[in-house]
Structure 1
């Protein structure tokens, strides 16, 4: 279950509608507990829950009776605040990297509800490509599968951008040829061309020129390939430094 706050933050708070109801009934002050972690499940959590319930009782003196009635009517178990909070924390940590929430209007990522640290999102994004890249390095018979799959090409090329090895040139040339031949290609055309050119091999020039001649090259900002083979490496380094780089951070 997804919760979005009035100030634009969002996050998962439960794994099901029943869990969300249990949270709302048993831990109504949960929005004020988001800064806590399971390590605080002792006195800090108990004190925060007690203070929250006391504030609610000022307007709902029969809070406990209402809770019991709702649980009975909905056939929900009576779980402890510690158990409810642990489930809330687990759900919150699934918001990223399992899910990336975007604003519908601007397409920007929503702020998270909680401040708890996660592994960098880039690790999750790059993981499939790095796995594929490792397999392709060990087994060239798998190259046609990745070269013919637009999504796999994209993830492998991105992985190769951040994990560069000299032995990748034959694979990169295969991927570049596939990008150039794909009418619906992505920015992978530019990335593949730069990665190939960075190896500085003059025999790659015909392939690089073919990539530049592809109709989609202009759309993705692939400048004209220099005439002199020696200038191609500087051309690639310039694009790499200004638009790509090898640091995912």
Structure 2
């Protein structure tokens, strides 16, 4: 297998947190391109099994694992390889640990505790490290690999200071770039796709409608990005069309953030 002859339809894709919200949109985007998808979930078993039933077991494997636990991730990846008789060659690190975008309820700088930072770092950074380490052997064997990390435009435009979430995603961008350098010789690319507030996911369900309207008015497109639109950019980084792109962060927010 090589980068110029590996369409999405030939890939086994792992989407962490892939059963609901943005993750479900990403899973469906890959399935729409003919890929086989490992829909990872932590607690959303019913949603994951519904996707598996909708598309069939030949296309979807619903797989429970806590991404912060390396043993669980390794077991999930091994199960996926046995199920599809092929290694995972695309990883989308989307799982979000216990977070809601509710600016009114967020802890402010004078009272936020380190434990909230630790929780987000565990999910974003440790989770991504676990999935990369678990899939690296299969990607090297294939001579092809794609890692797409899900970020945020909040570290460029912290319109709402979600300290813990934003710091963890900034760290994930750093990991994205160092992994890109380390894994490039293996023909494995590592990139990030960063969004703003999406209309609407489970995490953004607590956001007041007025906030969505304010964001929409601030974008050149005059609307808030949808999960399906965001997922399109993830497909690009997983495809052969991005074979010379690595270590990059693409902001997909309707043009709100310019750099």
* Higher radius of gyration, 1 or 2: 1
The TM-score normalised by the length of structure 1 is 0.22
- Could you say which structure has the greater relative contact order, defined with CA pairs below 8 angstroms and 6 or more residues apart? 2
Q: Could you say which structure has the higher strand fraction?
A: 2
TM-score (norm 2): 0.21
Higher helix share: 1
